[in-house]
Amino acid sequence: MRREIGCVVAPEDDGRLVKRVVRARLGVSHRQFTSLKQKNAVLLDGAPVHADVTVRAGQRVSVLLDEDETGGAPASDGPVNVVYEDEDILVVDKEAPLACMSGLDQPGDSLEGRLTGRYGAGYVFRPVNRLDKGTSGLMAVAKHAHAQQLMQRALHTDAYVREYAALVEGRVEPAAGVIDAPIGKADGATVRREVRPDGKSAVTRYETVASGGGYTLLRVRLETGRTHQIRVHLASRGWPITGDFLYGREDARLPGRFALHSAKLALAHPVTGERMTFESAPPIVFYEMMGSGSI
């Protein structure tokens, strides 16, 4: 499958080399441009050109993107809740418990397997932001390597906003704040993380949305993307996420999952630049556990 992306040469780019325009205006990396050049996939007004050709205002520069890799995940026929889809990206509302990736440590059902079932053998899964198996909600998936590269550049910036709904045990004081504490792997652990001085910088913002029944519902925004960041930061303050078997305790009302939901994504489309916002309401069980069945 090939995808062509391009732009019309602006007056300020008149006289520049095609390689400069492609790199600057289409966001193509040096490595990717080299690969495209070798495939004759750099075009000027629809015809392959040399990298050092001079462009004129009003001409169209474009590149042909090949999906020349092959996927390996076994297909499954499980449902996928697609919130948005076009030629470049896919936004899905993942259920929980459901793993994102297939692998030796995750041989069963996964979002990757379900998307392989949707798109066919050879599908390449390109998640931009990943969610733990026990976390539900919104995540973006790129349809080709170029889109994934551009979106991951923006992932930990203000251009890519990720907000979560987290139901935690206990009363949260102060009701809103910032947790700025480094996170690293716990000694002797393979998965578990902890706040530790030699960890990597991690910043999480939170604010209280509602409370009741011994629980507090928080709106949480990530500024960094460390493994288990929200789970570790909230637990370190004495507010473990409800049902979190690793950093708190399991809850039979949340079978196979914990009370963390990716509720909002705001991002710039990697090709068009359009600002896009997606929202997903937290599962009703979050409110039922607080003693309220309504949102």
Same domain, 55 and 113: no
Same domain, 39 and 137: no
Same domain, 125 and 246: yes
For residue 66, pLDDT beyond 80: no
What pLDDT, in 10s, does the model give residues 2-55? 778 788 888 888 888 888 888 877 777 777 788 788 788 888 888 888 888 898
Contacts of residue 228, defined as CB under 8 A and 6 or more positions apart, other chains included, come to 132, 183, 192, 193, 246, 247
| Total structural domains within the chain | 2
Same domain, 44 and 106: no
Same domain, 32 and 144: no
> DSSP code of 9?
P
Q: Tell me what the pLDDT averaged over the chain comes to.
A: 89
Same domain, 232 and 156: yes
60-69, 177-186, 233-242: least confidently modelled range: 60-69
Q: Is 45 a catalytic residue?
A: no
Greatest Cα-to-Cα distance within the chain, rounded to the nearest angstrom: 68
Q: What is the DSSP string of 144-188?
A: SHHHHHHHHHHTTSTTSEEEEEEEEES--SSSEEEEE--EEEPTT
**Which one, of 82, 139, 85, lies nearest residue 265 by Cα?**
139
What is the mean predicted confidence (pLDDT) over 57-73? Answer: 73
Catalytic residue selected from 13, 88, 93, 132:
132
Question: Chain-centre distance of CA 266, in angstroms?
Answer: 11
Domain contains 192: yes
For residue 295, pLDDT beyond 70: no
Confidence (pLDDT) at 38:
79
Domain contains 74: no
**Which one, of 163, 149, 141, 161, lies nearest residue 268 by Cα?**
161
Same domain, 128 and 30: no
- Count of alpha carbons within 13 angstroms of residue 127, beta-carbon side: 18
Same domain, 267 and 125: yes
This prediction has a pTM of 0.79
Range of the domain at 40: 2-66
